Amino acid sequence: MIGSKFVKSALVSASVLALAACSGSEPADTGTLVLHRGNNAEPLSLDPHRASGTWENNIIGDMFMGLFTEDPNGEPVPGIAESWTTSEDGLTWTFSLREANWSDGEPVTASDFVFAWRRISNPDTGAPYVSLLFPIAGVEQSSRGEIDPSEIGVRAIDERTLEVTLVNPAPYLPGLLTHYTTFPMPDHVIAEHGDEWIRPENIQTNGAFRLVDWRTNNYVHLVRNEQFFDNANTCLDEVYFYPTVDNSAAGRRVRNGELDLNMEFPGQQLEFLRREIPDYVRVHPFMGTVYFSINTTMDQFSDPQVRNALGMAIDREFIANEILRAGQPPAYAFVPPGVANYDSGVRASWADIPVEERRETAREILEAAGYGPDNPFRFEYAYRATGDNPRIAPVVQNDWSAIADWVQPELIVSDTQIHYDNLRAGAFEVADGGWIADYNDAYNFLFLAEFRSVPMNYPRYNNPDYDALVTAANSEQDLERRSAMMAEAEQMMIDDMPFIPIVYYVNKNLVSPRVTGWEDNLVNIHRSRYLCFADAETDAG
C-alpha cells in the first residue's frame, strides 16, 4: 500500500515519456478533427457537485447535459428535457425526458436526476455550490442536515418523467437548469465506483464528449461520445483543454497554431493583438460586475450618504479606458446590461454629473457628517494582489484623496484566500471584489444584497424593504411586473450604496479564424459540440 498511487502515476508518466521518446513525433490521424482549447486554469474537480469554476464548467458542460443546455448564443434551450408543463401557481414543473443514453449505452432516466439532486443536497457531499439549487423545495434544509435528502422536491414519476417542486415560481428556471449543479449523474456508475467514478477509466457521460485522459496541469482530453443523442450534429472528434494560466504564453500558443482558441488575454495587449492578429480578437460584454464592498456595520459607513460620497468620487471612465483598456463599460448599477428579462434603467442618481462636481458634493457630504481637517476621514481599502486589481487600487486611492486632503484612504493588499477570509468574517472597511453570474437572471446579482445571503453579502447590507421586494419579485410570474419590482429593489440598493459598482466585465477571447460556430455571447459559454473547422466544413459540404 505504501505510496502505491504515487508509484502507479509515476510509472504511467514515466512510460509515457519513454513511449514518446521511442515514437518521436507521430502525426495525428488526419481524418479526426481535434480542437485545442486554452481553458485558463487547471480543473480542481470534474465532479459537477464539487466544481466551482467557469473553466470547470467549460469541460463539464461538454461531457454532461442537464434538462436544459446552452445554444451557441448562450441562451437556454431544452437539453435532456423534451417538453415540460408548469402548474398554475408556477411551483410544480413536470419534465418529459427525451430518449438519451449514457456513454455505456444505459438509458438516462428521471431517477438519474433524482439521484444527482439528492446527492448534491446531502451535506456529506460537501458541494460548495449547493446554494444555487435553493429554489428547489427542501434543498436548503437538506444541505443544512435538517431534513433527509430524499425529502427534497424532486421525484421520478416514471422512467422519463420528472417532477420538480419549487419554493417560488422562479421564471429563470430554464437558465438555472443549464448549470452543471443540476446535471444528472450515472447512478449505476457511482454505485459501483463511489468517489472514483470521475476517473477516466470509470466515468460515463451523457453529453457530446467523454473523458479519456486527464493529466494534472497538462490537459484534459475528451473524445466524441457516440451514444450522445445529437451525435450526428457534432463535428469535432476530440477536444483538448489546456490550463493556460499565463495568458501571454497562451496568446503565443494561439498565434503559433498550437491552440485553436484561448478564453482570455491581458487587457493591455488588446491594441497590440488587434494590430497583429485582428481576426482572432473577440471582445464582448460579460455577465459580471466589478464592485467594491463597504462594511455597513461600521459606524463610519452606516450612513448611506457617506457611502455614496465614496462611490461618486471614483472616475470609472478613467479606470475603464486607461487602466483596463478592453472596452469594459463603466458601471453605475449593479446588474450588467443585457441580462435576460431585465431592462431596468437603474443608475446611481449622480451618474451623469461630471466627476469633478461629484467630488465637490462628496466633500460637502463628508463635511456634513463631521469630517474635516481636524477630523480626517481615514479608512482602509483592501484589494487582491491578482489580475488588474493592483493597478486599480492606487487610482481609486487617488480618486478618494481628490475629494479633500483630509480624506485619507490606506491601501491594504493581500492574497486572494486571505482577502476572502476577511470579507467573509466582516474584517474589512472597503474591499474590492467581483461577481460573475451563474445563470442569466437579475436575481443572481440581487440576491447578493439580501440580508440572508450574509456572508456572501459582504457589506452586511440589511434593508428589510429591499429583501421583501426581492422576495415578492421572485413570487411574481408576470415577467414584466417581476422586472419592474426587481428594478425598484435595485434602485433602492444603489441609492444606499452598500456596493460601489466600478465596471462591468467583458469577455476577451482569442479564437482562430479557422474555428467556425463560435458566437460571442453574454455568458461566455461555448460548447465544443457547436464548433468545427472552416476547412472541415467545406469538405463535408
Partner 1 sequence: MFAFVLRRLLVAIPTIIVITAVAFFMMKVAPGGPFDLERPMPEEIRERLLAEYGLDQPVWKQYIDYMAGLVQGDFGPSLKFLDKDVAELIGEGLPVSLMIGALAMLVAVVLGTFLGAIAALRQNTSGDFAVMSFAMIGVSIPPLVMGPILALVLGVYMGIFPTGGLNYSRFGLSVLVLPVITLALPQIAIIARLMRASMIEVIRSNYIRTARAKGLSASAVIIRHALRAAVLPLVSYLGPASAAVISGSLVIERVFQLPGMGAYFVDAALQRDYTLVMGVVVVYASLIIILNLVADVIYSILNPRVSYDS
The residue count for the chain: 541
Which of 140, 164, 156, 174 minimizes the C-alpha distance to 70? 174
81-110 positions binding partner 1, by CB under 8 A: none
146-205 positions binding partner 1, by CB under 8 A: 195, 198-199
Of 309 and 382, the one with the shorter C-beta distance to partner 1 is 382
Of 248 and 297, the one with the shorter C-beta distance to partner 1 is 248
Residue 231 binds partner 1, judged by CB under 8 A: no
Which position among 31, 194, 217, 345 is part of the footprint of partner 1 (CB under 8 A)? 217
Looking at the DSSP bridge assignments, the partners of residue 38 are 242, 262
Which position among 95, 115, 228, 240 is part of the footprint of partner 1 (CB under 8 A)? 240
Q: Which phi and psi (to 5°) does residue 355 adopt?
A: -65, -30
Give Cβ neighbours of residue 318 (< 8 Å, ≥ 6 apart).
Answer: 395
SS3 state at 535: helix
SS3 state at 250: helix
Which of 403, 539, 523, 534 minimizes the C-alpha distance to 71? 523
d(CA 504, CA 477): 28
The site map against partner 1 for 43-72 (x = CB under 8 A) is -xxxx--x-x--------------------
Cis peptide leading into residue 455 (ω within 30°): yes
d(CA 469, CA 492): 10
Residue 297 binds partner 1, judged by CB under 8 A: no
Residue 30 binds partner 1, judged by CB under 8 A: no
Match 461520445 to its residue by C-alpha cell.
225
For residue 124, the minimal CB distance to partner 1 (Å) is 7
The region of 4-12, 70-78, 161-169, 483-491 touching partner 1 under the rule CB under 8 A is 4-12
Q: Are 415 and 385 in contact (CB under 8 A)?
A: yes
d(CA 482, CA 486): 6
Residue 219 binds partner 1, judged by CB under 8 A: yes
d(CA 259, CA 11): 28
- Sequence-ordered strand ranges (E) for 313-392: 377-384
d(CA 117, CA 201): 24
Which position among 248, 268, 297, 349 is part of the footprint of partner 1 (CB under 8 A)? 248
The region of 14-22, 57-65, 182-190, 343-351 touching partner 1 under the rule CB under 8 A is 14-22
Residue 405 binds partner 1, judged by CB under 8 A: no
Q: How many residues bind partner 1 (CB under 8 A)?
A: 73
Residue 130 binds partner 1, judged by CB under 8 A: yes
Residue 21 binds partner 1, judged by CB under 8 A: yes
Residue 238 binds partner 1, judged by CB under 8 A: no
Q: Which phi and psi (to 5°) does residue 364 adopt?
A: -60, -40
The region of 61-69, 216-224, 323-331, 350-358 touching partner 1 under the rule CB under 8 A is 216-224
For residue 375, the minimal CB distance to partner 1 (Å) is 32
The site map against partner 1 for 457-476 (x = CB under 8 A) is --------------------
Residue 10 binds partner 1, judged by CB under 8 A: yes
Output the nine-digit C-alpha cell for 103: 456513454
Of 469 and 523, the one with the shorter C-beta distance to partner 1 is 523
Sign of CA dihedral 292, 295, 299, 305: positive
| Structure-derived torsion over alpha carbons of residues 56, 458, 384, 403, reported in degrees to the nearest 10 | 140
516-535 positions binding partner 1, by CB under 8 A: none
Which position among 159, 415, 480, 535 is part of the footprint of partner 1 (CB under 8 A)? 415
Of 58 and 308, the one with the shorter C-beta distance to partner 1 is 58
Output the nine-digit C-alpha cell for 161: 418523467
Residue 417 binds partner 1, judged by CB under 8 A: yes
The region of 92-100, 211-219, 323-331, 493-501 touching partner 1 under the rule CB under 8 A is 211-219
